[in-house]
Every structure is written in C-alpha cells, then in structure tokens.
Amino acid sequence: MTTLLEMRGIGKAFAGVKALNDVSFTVTQGEIHALVGENGAGKSTLMKVLSGVYPHGSYDGSIVYDGEERQFRDINDSEALGIITIHQELALIPLLSIAENIFISSPPSRFGVIDRDAVFARSRQLLAKVGLNEAPDTLVTNLGVGKQQLVEIAKALSKKVRLLILDEPTASLNESDSAALLDLLLEFRSQGMSAILISHKLNEVARVADRITVLRDGRTVDTLDCEAGAVEEDRIIRKMVDRDLEHRFPKREPNIGEPVFKVENWSVYHPLHADRQVIRNVDFQVRRGEIVGIAGLMGAGRTEFAMSLFGRSWGRRITGRATLHGREIDLSTVSRAIDAGLAYVTEDRKQLGLLLTDDVRKNITLANLEGVASGSVIDDIRELRVASDYRNRMRIRCSDVYQTSGHLSGGNQQKVVLSKWLFTDPEILILDEPTRGIDIGAKYEIYCIINELADAGKAVIVISSEMPELLGICDRICVMNEGAFVGEFDRSEATQEKIMRVIMRKGERLVVRDLERELQDKQLGEAHP
C-alpha cells in the first residue's frame, strides 16, 4: 500500500508540559486508521499539528504528505491538499441552509457573483453521495444531529478531501445513525479515500479500522493491525490504560429504600411550536439509593423531560405535580429546583455545564456561592478549601484548582461539572449522557462516583444513548419513546433486545394511530367540503 501520510517524531509542549513526545504515525492510501487513547493522551493535539492549527515551527518533528515534507502555516494550507477535519462540535450555522453551509467558504461564482444554481446543483450531488435525502435549501436547524453530521461530511467532500479526520463522529448519534455513518466511511474507503478515526467507542473502531494506533501520555504505545486478525476490545483497553479492567462496570450491591421523588401527570409543550406536546402525561419515580436509567432513541424526549423538571429550563405550558418525600415541591425556576434538592448535569458540558475560561475553583463553587460566602462576599480561603477537597475526592487531574477548565481533558471537565452539583448537596441527581466523549478509564471512574452517590442514599437518574452503559450501572431502566414511558425493566431482566422491542412496538402503534387520524381527517373533509 502507498503511504499517504507520515508523521515523524512529533513533539509538542505547553508551558513546559509535554503533550506529545516523539510520536510517529502513518496512514496509507485507502485506509481507515483509528487513533485511540484516554482523554489527555494527545490525540487531538496530534491532529491539530497535522491540520495546521499548530503551525510549523511550534512543534518538533516533521510531516510527510503525498511523498513531500510539508510545513503547514495554518488550516488553509492543509485543506488545500485535501486534509479535512470534522470536529465533535459541528461547525454549522443553524439558520443558514444546507447549501449555504456546504459552500460558505468557497461558493461557485460567475463574474464575481455567487452562482446559486451551481451551488444548489452541486449540493444535490454531494447530498446524494452521503445518502441525505434533503432539499439543499433546508435550514440546518431543522435537521437532527445525525443528518447534520452528514452535512459536515458533504461539506468536506466539496473541498476534494483525500484524508478525512473524524473526531468522535458518533458521540451524539443513536445506534442506527452511527451504523449508517460507519457504513458511509467504509464506502469512502472502497473509493480510495483515507480516514483517521478518533473514537472512544471501541466496538465501532474494531468494526471499521484497518489499523489502530494507541497513544498514552503523549507517546505512541502500539499500532495494531486489524487485517491480521480481529482485535479484542480488552486488548485495546490494556494498551490505552496500562492496566487490566476485569469488569467494564464496577461491582455494586444496591441498598434501595423508599420512594423519594415522584412525578405525576407531567406534560410539556415545545417552546417554539405551541401546539406540539413533547412530554405526554408522564408518571415517574425514583427511590433512595437507586440508579434509574432512561433509555430511548434520539428525539424520544429524555433530555426535554429532565430539563423541564430542572426549573422548567426547557419547554412551555408545563403541567403536573412533583413530590419529594411525599411533599409537593416547587420546580418553577432553576434556583427553586436546586433549593428543593435537584441537580442536573447537562449532556453539553462545554456549552452549558462549564465556564471554560474560568478556573476549576470557580466552576466547582458556581452553583452554591452561599456555601463559600461570608454574608454577600466570597471567602477566597473557603472557596479554595472546597475546590481542593473536591479535586481530591473526584480525582480531578489538573495542575491546581487555578487551572483554566477549558484546558482540561473531557473526563476531568466532566468531574468538575459533577463536583459543581455535588457541592449543592442534592437528593436527586439527574445525569444526562454523563460519559459522552470520554475514554474508557475515565468512564470507569465516573461509574464508581455514581455508585458512591447511590450508596450514600442519593437517588440517581441516568440518561444515556449507550445501552450497555445503562445495563451495566442501573438498578432499573425506564424506556421512553415519543415523549412517554413505554416500558420498564429491573436490572435482572433488562436486555438490549427487550428494550428495542418495546420501542419498536410502541413506534408501530404510533404509526397506526397516525394513519387512523389521517383517515378520519380525510373522511371529515369529504363530508364537509
């Protein structure tokens, strides 16, 4: 196979701390090469060196691409040679159309004027290539996350991509969308395109990768050849974390008590579409010391339900009753929800969970400033003591509590968010995708923290798109579809097959119901022309 890319002896330091140390990495023509490692291992830093985000001269080593040594000054230099990166946080403008997003940087033009006919014609060709059956003038805000990911790939193809870098491309996708994206990647490989895949989902890596390079602590540990034979996930994990994980999920003997938190007849309407009911008359409860999972496909209403509970931070026309220890509680604002004993760890830690430009200390104490204040003035010594205590308890890896939160790895950022809400001393902790975008070692630590909270008598609600995660850590799993709970399983009886069967059976009933409603509307229209 012809070598397309060779990175030789790459080193990169920040303030004297080595992020990369003598890393070597190669990609051949028409290969999917996976890059794995714990958060902070150096994967993103290595790709930023390759793409020119860190320009030539700011790192040690050399980059040979297509047989020539390259010295990229910025991202435009790498893109000009067909090296295109699709980031985990999609770089699309919601209120522009698909076509406008695809050609936002270099639209086809005639005599200096954008040729809209050419833009739309070319967009249709690219959308067909990625299997997206949407009109080019559709606004991106009206697309689901899976379709937005396909728009990003179409955007990359418009730049004549030769080497596609995908950073956690399936982190926000459900299983069917993830499978479709991976199938598309395999199709591109058959056409001769090369790809670098960064992912924490090791089952997906093992499915599509030709080779897997493992980074640990900024160094190349090993490169595994998948074509020589199937690579077991446990082998990859051992290389990543330098230790055996006998069990993916920590053992726990639950001690579940009486019902603590109950929701009755909870209904929520869409904040923009006033006639669209998103949560439909939900009844739900969680007991002391219990970990309850909420499963469901993308769009089932899980996050909307959680956010509507937490101070009505999503939705309108919210009705229903919530009780804690049998007494009705006021959840009408976020501050009242916190005072009532609720905490919500958002699925989007970067946008909604943290102040990335502030340090670890301020982020940890942000939700409970009264806990570190004397009167109305923040006590710096008390704040430092609290932050340092949580840093030690949660095993947050940072230089000190004055380190900027945006400079931490994903797993450590998640621990800071957890610390922030634990400092409010909640009785009910809602965790929305608590391990999204973090590595297997950090996941295990998060699972241990969740177990410790339940063992301390907290009631924990976990929303996750990863079914094995719910099966591995939850005492009970509630299944959500179309804004309603459609099934419930105890830990001992829950399986992926049973959960999916409940979802699909409910989906079939919804289709029948909609067809009956359409028939009734048609008959009514014929009776009253």
Do 397 and 412 meet the contact criterion of CB atoms below 8 Å apart?
yes
What is the largest distance, in Å, between two alpha-carbon atoms of the chain?
A: 80
pLDDT of 520 strictly over 60:
no
pLDDT digits (tens, 9 = 90+) for 448-461: 999 999 999 999 99
Residues 6+ apart with CB under 8 A from 434: 345, 414, 418, 446, 450, 462, 464
- For the chain, percent of residues with pLDDT exceeding 90: 50
Q: Based on the fold, state whether residues 441 and 387 are members of the same structural domain.
A: no
All residues at 6 or more sequence positions from 99 whose CB lies less than 8 Å from its CB, including other chains = 119, 120, 123, 136, 137
**Residue matched to tokens 């320009």:** 55
Q: Are residues 383 and 465 in the same domain?
A: no
Most confident of 35-44, 228-237, 321-330, 501-510: 321-330
Q: Is residue 116 part of a domain?
A: yes
- Residue 514: inside a domain: no
Please check whether residues 310 and 407 belong to one and the same domain. Answer: no
| Same domain for 395 and 331 | no
CB-based contact 70:7 (threshold 8 Å) = no
Which pair of structure tokens corresponds to residue 176?
A: 């069917």
Does residue 511 register a pLDDT over 50? no
Whether residues 334 and 356 share a domain: the answer is no
Q: Which DSSP category does 475 fall into?
A: S
Q: Are residues 142 and 200 in the same domain?
A: yes
Closest by alpha carbon to 343, among 436, 448, 469, 432? 432
Sheet arrangement for strand 476-481: 342-345, 428-432, 459-463, 291-295, 476-481, 484-490
Return the pLDDT at 514.
43
Question: Which pLDDT value is given to residue 517?
Answer: 46
Q: Look up residue 413 and give its two tokens.
A: 């950022």
Residue 516 lies in a domain: no
Query: Are residue 230 and residue 270 in the same domain, yes or no?
Result: no
Amino acid occupying residue 85: T
Among the listed ranges 312-316, 403-407, 479-483, 519-523, which one has the minimum average pLDDT value? 519-523
Residue 321 resides in a domain: yes
Of 215, 241, 267, at which residue does a domain stop?
241
Q: Under 8 Å CB-to-CB from 421, ≥6 apart: which residues?
A: 343, 344, 345, 367, 429
Alpha-carbon distance 434 to 472, whole Å? 14
Task: Find the range with the poorest average confidence among 86-90, 392-396, 452-456.
Answer: 86-90
Angstrom CA distances, 92 to 89, 103, 105, stand at 9, 11, 12
Q: Please tell me the predicted confidence (pLDDT) of residue 523.
A: 53
* Higher local confidence (pLDDT), 490 or 227: 490
The stretch 186-190 carries a mean pLDDT of 90
Q: Considering the domain boundaries, does residue 346 fall inside one?
A: no
Output the DSSP codes for 381-409.
HHHHHHHHHHHHHTT---S-TTSBGGGS-
The pLDDT tens digits of the residues spanning 30-81 come to 999 999 887 678 888 899 999 999 999 999 999 999 999 999 999 999 999 9
3-state helix, strand, coil in the chain (%, to 5): 40, 25, 35
The DSSP annotation for 188-235 comes to: HHHTT-EEEEE-S-HHHHHHH-SEEEEEETTEEEEEEEGGGSPPPHHH
Beta-bridged to residue 198, according to DSSP, are 35, 167
The long-range contacts involving 70-77, CB below 8 angstroms and separated by at least 24 positions, are 75/51, 76/52, 77/52
Give the span between the Cα atoms of 166 and 378, in whole angstroms: 43
Q: In the beta sheet, which residues pair with residue 269?
A: 277, 316
Could you tell me if 357 and 471 lie in one domain?
A: no
184 lies in the same domain as 150: yes
- Asked if 262 and 179 sit in the same domain, the reply is no
pLDDT tens track for 254-303:
999 999 999 999 999 998 888 889 999 999 999 999 999 999 876 788 99
Please tell me whether residues 50 and 160 are part of one structural domain. Answer: yes
515: helix, coil or strand? Answer: helix
Structural domain contains residue 513: no
Boundary-marking domain end, from 423, 451, 479: 423
Domain-ending residue, one of 423, 447, 476: 423
Q: How many domains does the chain have?
A: 3
pLDDT reading at 231 higher than 50? yes
User: Sorting pLDDT into bands at 50, 70 and 90, what band is 243?
Assistant: low
180: containing domain: 3-241
Query: Six-digit token pair at 474?
Result: 């939850």
* DSSP per residue, 115-157: -HHHHHHHHHHHHHHHT----TTSBGGGS-HHHHHHHHHHHHH
* CATH label of the domain that carries residue 289: 3.40.50.300
Q: Report whether 208 contacts 12 (CB < 8 A).
A: no
Task: Kindly state whether residue 62 falls inside one of the protein's structural domains.
Answer: yes
- How many Cα atoms occupy the beta-carbon half-sphere of 141 within 13 Å? 5
Q: What is the CA radius of gyration of the chain?
A: 25
Task: Find the helix or strand (DSSP H, E) in which 292 lies.
Answer: strand 291-295
In 29-111, DSSP assigns E strands to 32-36, 60-65, 68-70, 83-86, 109-110
pLDDT at 423: 93
* Residue 179 belongs to a domain: yes
* 218 & 171 share domain: yes
More confident residue, 245 or 151: 151
Nearest to 6 by CA among 84, 79, 66, 71: 66
